[in-house]
């Protein structure tokens, strides 16, 4: 399996594994420029992706994985390894993501790649019309 940075030309390939939450061209353009986002492929077949970016938090930088999708735990592990390597190469020594505990393959991939899980809990408030429509983008109720 190959893990490579993607470009806006990969929009259709990314959306083949995005499921019910397709990516917009704007999102793909943004994450393609971050240096921390990757497409997983086996031959010419897309198998998953990681959307990540460096975020300055006042004292340190964290590479935040905004979204990760993959067909299986091995794909997710490879994507996490690619993000971790890109962070390390950029001199960023923390990688984080929000985990839906129902995603067992992702939980296993995170543990296999040395991530600590918990005990923090993410609290989210969606503002504006998205909040009024009840949109949560995967936040647990």
User: Which pLDDT tens digit goes with each residue over 7-22?
Assistant: 999 999 999 999 999 9
**Nearest alpha carbon to residue 140 among 127, 123, 126, 118:** 123
Provide CB contacts within 8 A for 30, sequence distance 6+. 53
Which parts of the chain fold into alpha helices (H)?
11-15, 25-32, 73-89, 104-112, 128-132
Q: What domains does the chain contain, in order, with CATH numbers?
A: 2-133 (3.40.630.30)
Give this prediction's pTM: 0.88
Decide if 38 contacts 50 (C-beta within 8 A): yes
- The percentage of residues in the chain with a pLDDT greater than 70, rounded to a whole number, is 93
d(CA 112, CA 34): 25
């Amino acid at each position: 399996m190959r893990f490579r940075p993607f470009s806006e030309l990969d929009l259709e390939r990314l959306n083949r594994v995005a499921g019910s939450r397709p990516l917009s061209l704007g999102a793909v353009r943004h994450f393609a420029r971050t240096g921390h986002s990757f497409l997983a492929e086996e031959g010419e077949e897309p198998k998953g992706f990681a959307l990540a970016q460096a975020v300055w938090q006042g004292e340190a930088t964290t590479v935040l994985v905004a979204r990760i999708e993959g067909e299986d735990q091995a794909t997710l592990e490879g994507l996490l390894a690619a993000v971790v390597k890109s962070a390390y190469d950029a001199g960023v020594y923390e990688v984080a993501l929000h985990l839906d505990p129902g995603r067992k393959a992702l939980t296993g991939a995170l543990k296999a790649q040395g991530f600590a899980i918990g005990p923090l809990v993410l609290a989210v408030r969606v503002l504006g019309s998205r909040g009024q429509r009840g949109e949560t983008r995967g936040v647990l109720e």
